[in-house]
């Protein structure tokens, strides 16, 4: 599906690409945004005893990008709808992101989650694992990835990669996991600005549990100079939430679906805002 949206004029922005806790100046960067780190930095070895530590917010004066001055995120139940469809995407070189089961063997995530931080190259498919319902070291399903597809035109790298509008990936698992109720459909219709959405993932300051902003809204669609489309939102999320689904009610009200995949956040740490690739653009050429 091609979206009819205005083309944004290119203009310079101050932004950076994050690897863990380092900020590396890019040679090119998505407008008004920085990519979430594929490697989310864990606060320590997770265990049931350290579960409360996962709920701690970043220290005052040390705001994480994309959260905003007032942190609205809350811990959510990974066994409840629609969160039971989410899981952690992990690579054997240490990358951690969020993914969503959109078919029994298909996981949606961000393409930059598949890039090795040191080499700047895509990792081998079989070095990627999906842990459905991950919570404090436990999960309801696990499968290795056997192949994946990324957005046309997405180029990996160390200091820069993109474009952001092509920053999506569909992972094919070695076997089906999860019951039918764990699968969330892609909502291909054009989302309306102001529509209520939710965004949750395994984030840098809470990597062992799902935390989510359940009261945010969609912004406008813009077409970048590359021809790719991005969807703005005001959800609070930071590194590690890359690949997380933008969740909205289905048009018939029967349940939840995915309207986009989170790929970037505004560099200003005092503002809760970011961009997603809309579901209509996933699996399509710009």
- Tell me how far apart the terminal alpha carbons of the chain are, to the nearest angstrom: 9
The answer to whether the CB of 50 falls within 8 A of the CB of 44 is yes
In which band, very low, low, confident or very high, does the pLDDT at 285 lie, cut at 50, 70 and 90?
A: low
What is the SS3 string spanning the chain? CCCCCCECCCCCCCCCEEECCEEECCCCCCCCCEECCCCCCCCCCCCHHHHHHHHCCCCCCCCCCCCCCCCCCEECCCCCCCHHHEEEEEECCCCEEEEEEEECCEEEECHHHHECCCCCCECCHHHEEEEECCECCECCEEEEEEEEEECCCCECCCCCCECHHHCCEEEEECCCCCCHHHCCCECCCCCCCCCEEEEEEEECCEEEEEEEEEEEEEEEEEECCCCCEEEEECCCCCCCCCCCEEEEECCCCCCEEEEEEEEEECCCCCCCCEEEEEHHHCCCCC
> Per this entry, what is the length of the chain?
286
Preceding peptide of 163 cis, ω within 30°:
yes
Q: How far apart are CA 200 and CA 215, in angstroms?
A: 11
Is residue 147 predicted with pLDDT exceeding 50? yes
Q: Mind listing the pLDDT tens digit for each residue in 60-75? A: 445 788 888 889 999 9
Q: What pLDDT score does 73 carry?
A: 95
Give the chain's mean pLDDT: 80
Q: What pLDDT score does 62 carry?
A: 58
Q: What pLDDT score does 137 carry?
A: 94
Q: What pLDDT score does 286 carry?
A: 65
Q: What pLDDT score does 240 carry?
A: 84
* Residues near 100 by beta carbon (within 8 Å), at least 6 away in sequence: 85, 86, 87, 107, 108, 109, 184, 243, 244, 245, 258, 261
Q: Mind listing the pLDDT tens digit for each residue in 176-224? A: 998 889 999 999 998 889 999 999 999 989 999 999 999 999 999 999 8
Is residue 138 predicted with pLDDT exceeding 70? yes
Q: How far apart are CA 170 and CA 157, in angstroms?
A: 19
Q: What pLDDT score does 281 carry?
A: 94
Q: Rounded mean pLDDT of 238-265?
A: 93
Percent of the residues in the chain that have a pLDDT greater than 70, as a whole number: 77
Specify the pairing of strand 196-203 against strand 206-223.
antiparallel
Q: How far apart are CA 152 and CA 64, in angstroms?
A: 30
Query: What phi-psi label fits residue 243: left (phi over 0), alpha (psi between -120 and 50 degrees) or beta?
Result: left
Tokens of 189: 């219709």
Is residue 254 predicted with pLDDT exceeding 90? no
Q: Mind listing the pLDDT tens digit for each residue in 7-47? A: 332 222 223 333 333 332 233 333 333 333 333 323 333 33
Strand partners, 74: 212
Q: What pLDDT score does 160 carry?
A: 86
Q: What pLDDT score does 78 carry?
A: 96
């Amino acid at each position: 599906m091609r979206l009819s949206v205005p083309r944004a004029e290119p203009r310079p922005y101050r932004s950076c690409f994050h690897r863990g806790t380092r900020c590396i100046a890019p040679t090119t960067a998505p407008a008004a945004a920085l990519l979430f780190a594929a490697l989310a930095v864990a606060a320590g070895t997770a265990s049931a005893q350290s579960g409360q530590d996962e709920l701690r917010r970043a220290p005052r004066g040390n705001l994480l990008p994309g959260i905003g001055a007032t942190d609205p995120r809350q811990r959510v139940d990974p066994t409840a709808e629609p969160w039971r469809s989410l899981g952690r995407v992990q690579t054997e070189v240490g990358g951690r992101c969020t993914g969503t089961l959109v078919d029994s063997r298909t996981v949606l995530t961000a393409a930059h989650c598949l890039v090795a931080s040191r080499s700047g190259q895509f990792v081998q498919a079989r070095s990627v694992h999906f842990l459905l319902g991950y919570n404090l070291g436990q999960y309801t399903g696990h499968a290795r990835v056997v192949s994946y597809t990324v957005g046309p035109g997405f180029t990996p790298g160390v200091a820069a990669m993109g474009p952001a509008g092509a920053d999506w990936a569909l992972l094919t698992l070695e076997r089906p996991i999860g019951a039918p109720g764990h699968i969330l459909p892609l909502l291909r219709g054009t989302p309306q600005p102001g529509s209520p959405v939710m965004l949750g993932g395994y984030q840098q300051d809470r990597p062992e549990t799902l935390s989510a902003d359940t009261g945010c809204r969609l912004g406008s669609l813009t077409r970048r100079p590359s021809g790719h489309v991005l969807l703005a939102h005001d959800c609070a999320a930071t590194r590690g939430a890359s690949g997380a689904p933008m969740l909205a009610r289905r048009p018939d009200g029967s349940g939840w679906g995915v309207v986009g995949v989170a790929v970037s956040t505004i560099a200003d740490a005092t503002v809760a805002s970011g961009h997603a690739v809309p579901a209509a653009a996933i699996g399509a050429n710009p």
